[in-house]
Amino acid sequence: MSKTQEAPPVNHQAKLIYHGSYNVLLFRPEWKEKREEILNRDKVCVICKSPENLQVHHRQYHYLIAEECFNNPREYSNSLLITLE
């Protein structure tokens, strides 16, 4: 996706979030806000305690059978998000 293309709106009725669109969701302001919240909560990697190169990861992913798509990355509860180096 080029820098001039705009990220598609989050559509809860989408039939499938495929690999490329999931990455787009990680650049949306909503995910960035959620990511900062988790980084502020954990402060360091929960495994090695390093404060460097931190990333927020999902402990698991939820597939919504009724909607035939994966849950939006920012809609997971904070307990399912973890900070890692």
> Which pLDDT belongs to residue 20?
57
Token pair of 58 as six digits:
């999902």
Single out the residue of 75, 77, 73, 63 nearest to residue 22, CA to CA.
Answer: 73
> Which pLDDT belongs to residue 17?
45
> Which pLDDT belongs to residue 9?
52
> Which pLDDT belongs to residue 37?
97
| Average pLDDT by stretches of 10, the chain with 85 residues | 49 46 84 96 97 94 81 89 96
